[in-house]
């Protein structure tokens, strides 16, 4: 996010040709009218009411946030409704976890793909939700009624929570809706979002992973791409159309709006907008925060996950059952493993730190002339806040990546032990207070009966292999010990080093062999005849608790006043940035998993000297990249047969090529995966699925000359459904525009 002074803005206005171009901005739908003229110049042919309206069906009614039942307002991906029977398309990697859950060695949907040729064959996914926006409203004035500048941060937070809760409850009173008030611009504005959340979402189809993940880690975050990144789901409701849990009596959703799907031509310069639920951006981040992101978060995430990635690759390549078990976990781990490294490269190449420092100098020059001292104090508070927490953040990265989310058993043992003790000691008053932190984990009252834990236990160990777990633990425990500051190293690692002299495999073998949490059999046996002392003495419980408690304590190691001052400084700085730019340029709030729209054009680009990238790829490139010796570039035999016969159905372009992917200059981030790419007439032309490595700085500083959104061409999706899979039942329920 770059602040441009008025002089720079005027110079640019003089030098730039009068053509529409994308700029940073994940825009709130209800305010899109402010961008309307720019959108029309870029090729938009509809009205703002066609995008967002509470009185008529519109595009927002076809946009779906995919989430989990326990986190109704966090959306891990986006989907779009593409038929009047609730059919939803999204990315293959968004549906990957569900494909993995349904896969077995006998029915390997990851390897072979999955297609439901009738609705009866569609597969339920308990816990998966589909959220659609009903309405949104700026509630800043209501939220801020009781807020003053002289409040402490804790008092301010308490007042905000109270105000937001009252607004949310009133918004959904007497309805089946869900509501949340979300902060914008780092606590300077607040918007209410009301959603309807559907709880019966069934898997309909997906190509094999050799197509849906073609290119794997090698091609991730890069262009050109040839990945067939889509999967399909269907939303079901109760017979009366209301949200309902899975039931055989449920019926397909009749949506207020669904997107027609394009099988027509796509040209360089065509209008493109992306609607979806982007996760998180941080474009008001200062140079001090950026240094922490690069030197601590990104650097350590990449280095520690490299240890994990290499082990998982070896184990998954050696055994099909292990590959299925760890496929989704590996994908989740590797995605931001590569992202962290590529983002650091882009940030260095684009001198983003220097850009941030220039922004801060402009801010400081402005702040000197303001009467309110909070603006002058802001940068100092921010600098001191980040400096004071640097060591704690670094230690937390080692604890989280290396112990709490590296191997799985330590954290699981710590969490499950609390639940077990809460149920075994429910009638002992001295234990009740200790267990309050896990109250409600199972949604049941504490009791001595542990039978209710069996489904949770089975679910955890379903995708768990003890030998893989032991190998991960040995490698990661050793790595953490060797790199973490000794003062922050958990005691169990210090003792292990002293006793086992660096033989981490021997230590881990002893650790797991003595733990009831090492495998499902030993834990189930314990549940049959539980003993509280056995939980207290369990070595994996002790290790997990120690790491977790150390992690939490590191938060408290930074003085509360310093933490609150940092928060206040960031809010004041952001407020100042908004004032500096008032009247000069529209500014969009950072992404926070709320629905947004970005607009731009299909557009090629020149990433570096002597290199030019075309705006689309074709199936030709799939065969050119094929490598039978590399699993990332295997090509299914059926695809090769169809390609050789030039059997592209009615989906080839005017040159007779089978399109694969294309790029636009839309502003996207994580959470936008699966978002519809929509043309100027409101027709689906593709699915957004990735960004490009040259502009991986985009979450922190949008680079308008390099930023590209990588998209699956809708024609490739239709070809796979129709010709490759023969799922004519799905083709026939879509409105296809040629």
Structural domains of the chain ordered from first start: 19-127+199-275+590-693+703-738 (2.40.10.120), 287-557 (no CATH)
Residue 673 annotated in active site: yes
Between CA 671 and CA 687, with CA 229 as vertex, the angle to 5 degrees is 60
b/e per residue, 215-244, with b = 16+ CB within 10 A?
bbbebbbbbbbbbbbbbbbbbbbeeeeebb
Q: Which pLDDT band holds residue 584 (cuts at 50, 70, 90)?
A: confident
Residue 638's H or E segment, with its range, is helix 637-644
Write out the DSSP string of 220-239.
TT-SS------EEEEEEE-T
pTM comes to 0.91
Give the tens place of pLDDT for each residue, 591-640. Answer: 999 999 999 999 999 998 999 999 999 999 999 999 999 999 999 999 99
In the DSSP assignment, the letter for residue 296 is I
A 10 A CB-CB count for 585 gives 13
Phi-psi region of 710 (alpha: psi -120 to 50; beta: other; left: phi over 0): beta
Residue 417 annotated in active site: no
Q: Which pLDDT band holds residue 338 (cuts at 50, 70, 90)?
A: very high
Query: Any alpha helices (H) in 319-408, and if so which ranges?
Result: 320-349, 352-367, 373-399
Q: Which pLDDT band holds residue 448 (cuts at 50, 70, 90)?
A: low
Query: Any alpha helices (H) in 514-636, and if so which ranges?
Result: 520-528, 532-537, 539-557, 560-581, 619-625
pLDDT at 428: 45
Residue 93 annotated in active site: yes
Q: How many residues are recorded in the chain?
A: 738
Tokens, residue 213: 């993940």
Give the tens place of pLDDT for each residue, 239-295. Answer: 999 999 999 999 999 999 999 999 999 999 999 999 999 999 999 999 999 999 999
Above 80 in pLDDT, residue 7? no
Distance CA 111, CA 466 (A): 24
Between CA 149 and CA 392, with CA 559 as vertex, the angle to 5 degrees is 125
Residue 273's H or E segment, with its range, is strand 271-276
pLDDT at 23: 58
In this structure, are residues 153 and 572 in contact, taking their beta carbons and an 8 Å threshold?
no
Above 80 in pLDDT, residue 219? yes
Tokens, residue 229: 């990144």
Looking at residues 194-212, what average pLDDT do you find?
Answer: 98
Residue 90's H or E segment, with its range, is strand 87-90
Nearest-CA neighbor of 80 among 685, 703, 653, 624? 685
In this structure, are residues 455 and 509 in contact, taking their beta carbons and an 8 Å threshold?
no
Looking at residues 71-97, what average pLDDT do you find?
Answer: 96
Helices 409-424 and 539-557, packing angle to 10 deg = 100
Q: Which pLDDT band holds residue 673 (cuts at 50, 70, 90)?
A: very high
Average pLDDT score over the chain: 92
Give the tens place of pLDDT for each residue, 435-444. Answer: 333 333 333 3
Q: Which pLDDT band holds residue 15 (cuts at 50, 70, 90)?
A: very low
Per annotation, catalytic residue among 75, 92, 93, 258? 93
Q: Which residues lie closer than 8 Å to 625 by C-beta, 6 or more apart?
A: 214, 215, 226, 633
Per annotation, catalytic residue among 229, 667, 690, 699? 229
Distance CA 543, CA 191 (A): 42
Q: Which pLDDT band holds residue 72 (cuts at 50, 70, 90)?
A: confident
Radius of gyration of the chain (CA): 26
Residues above pLDDT 70, as percent of the chain? 94
pLDDT at 586: 84
Tokens, residue 327: 């496929």
pLDDT at 451: 86
Q: 3-class DSSP state for residue 629? A: coil
Residues above pLDDT 90, as percent of the chain? 89
């Amino acid at each position: 996010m770059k602040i441009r002074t008025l002089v720079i803005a005027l110079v640019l206005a003089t030098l730039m040709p009068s053509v529409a171009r994308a700029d940073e901005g994940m825009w709130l739908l209800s305010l899109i009218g402010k961008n309307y003229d720019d959108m029309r110049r870029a090729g938009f042919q509809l009205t703002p009411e066609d995008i967002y309206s509470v009185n008529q069906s519109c595009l927002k009614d076809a946009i779906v946030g995919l989430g989990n039942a326990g986190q109704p307002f966090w959306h891990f991906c986006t989907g779009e409704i593409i038929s009047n029977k609730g059919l939803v398309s999204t990315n293959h990697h968004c549906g990957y976890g569900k494909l993995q859950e349904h896969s077995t060695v006998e029915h390997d949907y990851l390897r072979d793909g999955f297609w439901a040729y009738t609705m009866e064959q569609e597969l339920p996914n308990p816990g998966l939700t589909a959220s659609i926006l009903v309405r949104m409203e700026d509630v800043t004035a209501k939220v801020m009624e009781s807020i003053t500048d002289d409040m402490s941060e804790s008092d301010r937070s308490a007042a905000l929570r109270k105000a937001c809760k009252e607004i949310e409850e009133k918004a959904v009173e007497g309805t089946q809706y869900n509501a949340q008030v979300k902060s914008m611009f780092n606590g300077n504005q607040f918007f209410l979002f009301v959603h309807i959340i559907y709880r019966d979402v069934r898997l309909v189809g997906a190509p094999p992973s050799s197509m849906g993940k073609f290119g794997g880690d090698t091609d991730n975050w890069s262009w050109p791409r040839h990945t067939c990144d889509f999967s399909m789901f269907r939303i079901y409701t109760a017979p009366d159309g209301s949200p309902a849990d899975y039931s055989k009596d449920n019926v397909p959703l009749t949506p207020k709006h669904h997107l027609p799907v394009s099988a027509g031509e796509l040209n360089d310069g065509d209008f493109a907008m992306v609607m979806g639920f982007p996760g998180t951006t941080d474009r008001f981040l200062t140079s001090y925060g950026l240094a922490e992101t690069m030197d601590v978060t990104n650097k350590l995430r990449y280095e520690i996950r490299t240890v994990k990635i290499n082990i998982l690759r070896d184990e998954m390549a050696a055994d099909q059952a292990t590959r299925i078990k760890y496929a989704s976990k590996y994908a989740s781990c590797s995605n931001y493993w590569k992202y962290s490294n590529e983002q650091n490269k882009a940030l260095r190449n684009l001198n983003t730190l220097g850009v941030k420092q220039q922004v801060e100098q402009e801010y400081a020059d402005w702040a000197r002339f303001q009467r309110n001292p909070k603006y002058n104090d802001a940068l100092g508070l921010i600098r001191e806040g980040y400096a004071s927490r640097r060591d704690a953040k670094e230690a937390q990265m080692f604890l989280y990546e290396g112990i709490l989310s590296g191997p799985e058993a330590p954290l699981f043992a710590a969490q499950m032990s609390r639940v077990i003790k809460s149920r075994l000691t429910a009638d002992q008053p001295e234990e009740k207070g200790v267990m309050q932190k896990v109250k409600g984990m199972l949604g049941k009252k504490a009791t001595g009966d542990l039978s209710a834990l069996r489904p949770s236990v089975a679910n955890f160990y379903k995708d768990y292999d003890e030998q893989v777990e032991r190998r991960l633990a040995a490698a990661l425990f050793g790595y953490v010990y060797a790199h973490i500051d000794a003062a922050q190293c958990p005691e169990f690692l210090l003792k292990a080093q002293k006793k086992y002299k660096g033989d981490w495999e021997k230590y881990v073998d002893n650790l797991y062999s003595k733990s009831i949490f090492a495998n499902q059999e030993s834990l189930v046996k314990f549940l049959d005849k539980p003993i509280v002392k056995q939980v207290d003495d369990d070595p994996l419980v002790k290790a997990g608790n120690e790491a977790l408690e150390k992690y939490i304590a590191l938060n408290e190691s930074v003085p509360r006043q310093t933490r609150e001052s940092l928060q206040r400084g960031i809010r004041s700085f952001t407020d100042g940035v908004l004032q500096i730019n008032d009247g000069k340029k529209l500014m969009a709030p950072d992404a926070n998993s709320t629905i947004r729209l970005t607009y731009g054009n299909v557009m090629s680009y020149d990433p570096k000297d002597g290199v030019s990238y075309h705006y689309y790829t074709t199936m030709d490139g799939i065969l050119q990249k094929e490598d039978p010796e590399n699993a990332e570039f295997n090509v299914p035999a059926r695809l090769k047969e169809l390609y050789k016969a030039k059997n592209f159905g009615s989906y080839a372009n005017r040159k007779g090529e089978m399109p694969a992917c294309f790029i636009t200059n839309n502003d996207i981030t994580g959470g936008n995966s699966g978002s519809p790419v929509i043309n100027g007439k409101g027709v689906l032309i593709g699915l957004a699925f990735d960004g490009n490595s040259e502009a991986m700085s985009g979450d922190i500083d949008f680079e308008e000359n390099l930023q590209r959104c990588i998209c699956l061409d809708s024609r490739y999706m239709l070809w796979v459904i129709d010709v490759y899979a023969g799922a004519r039942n799905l083709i026939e329920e879509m409105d296809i525009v040629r």
